[in-house]
Structure 1
């Protein structure tokens, strides 16, 4: 472990008045939280994880948000529980920790356990573990009468086929633990089921679920001092060739006020039943044609990728400032989020294996055609001679963000740009 001291930012509170916020690992989409914490006048410590940074191809020293961090500790792998615990205890001895922020899936539970050990308010460790163990989460919700979606953890093809025979195809097959749509499949028949399970790394850790249909949305809610903060309901899009693959999000969702309230009440029931006591949570929901919400996945952390930025672009404000305040266990008066526009993201990757293009094509045409509605368009090809087919969020190489006063226009422009990129690239992309 190494560390480095950064000079305090001019906006920092006077010595002795700042609280100590410790961020465990970082990624580009959540780095603005450093600035939010510093703007609030706090002392900011970051525990970096080199393996995570290399996997995400991010460079902390090149990040414009690095200057908002007062103290940096560097670990090779922050998911190593003993290395992380040792580092946190050292940090806590030097300057007592007032609050932790962990936005990476793999680190929420380890940080929760350490926080409980040293007496710092954070998301409940047992509840966070239950949320990440998807079959355990289903078990808890069924016992509480919150959600009765049928599921089974299978030991192989025969168990999975028996479940599918009882519930009917299609069924959803996914790892019992995991995130980012990695390893998830909507399976149409027994032949596909056999193929999916043959490719699974660990059939004993495979969850088979009843297929849910309707509108795919997510609720973003905070919880502090027993009070819920209803932040947003967003709508999600998926790829028709691989329904488990998310291709984008629009904030806020185009649903009625009654549907919004129904989704939020359901998300609160889910969080309450599982026992998450503090944090901002990302609750993925299928809103059925009959208006019944059903859980897809409960994430005991803030929404990921660029979605906090979409929240801001749509007029919802700085959700990172709220995140810091929640994890410092402040008393926050709940109130409705008022949006003044619609922000849409579309991600795309190769639909099928193709040779990696020699260079990124010209992107200027999109700004010329769509003007201020286009917030950003990025394309970055991974290393290698071949682009593998994108079947999970980590397989995307492109992203477009669009903001518009009209929901339909926001979505249409984003999808048109993805289509234009496919034309320029000369191969089909996920969309």
Structure 2
């Protein structure tokens, strides 16, 4: 049987998934977009480039219709562009491109964090103690049974992303009220959080392992270390993401665990994004995304390593060898802007000095003088405010420029006043 020679199918080509079109076009490979809903989720809307796709296929509830249209195209693959496309891509790929698909019976474990944890635990790997339910009494009984009464907890949706809806409950104080307030909430994908995960809060150093898999062999694309901070009541707000050299001593243990996690949830083909907390007792899975690292990370990864998950996918689809590892060529850090409070922001022009830094590679600030700003609660807020990519051959220069970014940020003035209405 010959290899399919048709287009690559990207389900929800938003966020980093929007990078596939240009990269594939350079190799003469067409791209067909499948949209899981009529409109992109609000968090992804600005990244969608409809001009890149001539005839997007919109899924309106009839899977057979979409499958029939795709089969007629003889596509090379069906891949998720971002988190909102994972579930549909996982349903389509085994039916349309079975040679390049993941294990169908474990599809839920590649999207639902509860099913994900259960699959990882069933494989004999350590996981964070947790429960997923809509019943507050069930949580209460679990806390007693697990010896977690009075412990720090995390409450979060099983199917959101970008720390959306993630709440830390210090000492477990008021957990039931937090649980009740968040149950039934509509998340950033427009889905109702009809169940919630309650987890023991674990501490350590958080890493992300980005991989590309082919025939179940998981190659390493990059490793980044997160640093997160509490911003008032909001936990785990992104401070920095730092690319690590391939010689970092933490990588062998993290990679071994990540590969076992990928096997446990049935990843066989494509990009994956594995977030791990390296605790005193070893690595623990935070979550996995069966799609490329979001937020446009692959284009910045090219600067740090000369490669990316997008590039490896393209080489695979073009029938070329795919690298098994990576090499850091530039020290690089993403600095996420943090707003300490909500209100009206003044002094925005100070942030223009970020572009004068010796290590400045890219930056974006989405603020206007006298305009509103939202206290940073999660990654979506961070990306709406803006971020800076600092990249340089000298690691000390990157560190020094990071401190300058934070100093400039502190010069902003946020007041509680409200802007005058327009018109």
Please report the TM-score for the alignment, with normalisation by the length of structure 2: 0.82
Equivalent pairs, count: 396
Q: How much has 1:339 moved relative to structure 2?
A: 1.0
| Alpha-carbon contact 1:214-1:286 (below 8 Å) kept | yes
Unaligned runs of at least 5 residues, structure 2: 185-192, 417-423
CA distance in 2, matches of 1:58, 1:210: 35
Residue of structure 1 in register with 2:405 after alignment? 417
Residue of structure 2 in register with 1:285 after alignment? 276
SS of equivalent residue, structure 1 residue 394: helix
Moved more, 126-135 or 224-233: 126-135
Q: How much has 1:224 moved relative to structure 2?
A: 0.4
Q: How much has 1:265 moved relative to structure 2?
A: 0.5
Residue of structure 2 in register with 1:35 after alignment? 22
CA distance in 2, matches of 1:234, 1:332: 24
What is the 5 A alignment of 1:275-314? 275-290=266-281, 292-314=282-304
Q: Deviations over 1:236-295 (max 9, x none)?
A: 121223333333311126x964421110000000011111111111110011135x1111
**Residue 216 (structure 1) aligned to one of 184, 202, 206:** 206
**Inter-CA distance 59–263: structure 2 relative to 1 (3 Å threshold):** closer
| Alpha-carbon contact 1:213-1:286 (below 8 Å) kept | yes
CA distance in 1, matches of 2:21, 2:326: 23
Q: Deviations over 1:207-262 (max 9, x none)?
A: 11122211110111121023221122110121223333333311126x96442111
CA RMSD between the two structures:
3.2
Q: How much has 1:146 moved relative to structure 2?
A: 1.0
**Inter-CA distance 109–29: structure 2 relative to 1 (3 Å threshold):** closer
| Alpha-carbon contact 1:375-1:402 (below 8 Å) kept | yes
What is the 5 A alignment of 1:274-353? 274-290=265-281, 292-326=282-316, 328=317, 330=319, 332-353=321-342
| Alpha-carbon contact 1:108-1:128 (below 8 Å) kept | no
**Inter-CA distance 375–201: structure 2 relative to 1 (3 Å threshold):** same
Matched, 1:102 2:80: yes
Matched, 1:366 2:348: no
Unaligned runs of at least 5 residues, structure 1: 1-15
CA distance in 1, matches of 2:377, 2:8: 36
Residue of structure 2 in register with 1:72 after alignment? 54
Please report the TM-score for the alignment, with normalisation by the length of structure 1: 0.81
What is the 5 A alignment of 1:121-270? 121-165=100-144, 166-167=147-148, 169-202=151-184, 205-241=195-231, 242-252=234-244, 257-270=248-261
CA distance in 1, matches of 2:33, 2:222: 28
**Inter-CA distance 406–128: structure 2 relative to 1 (3 Å threshold):** farther
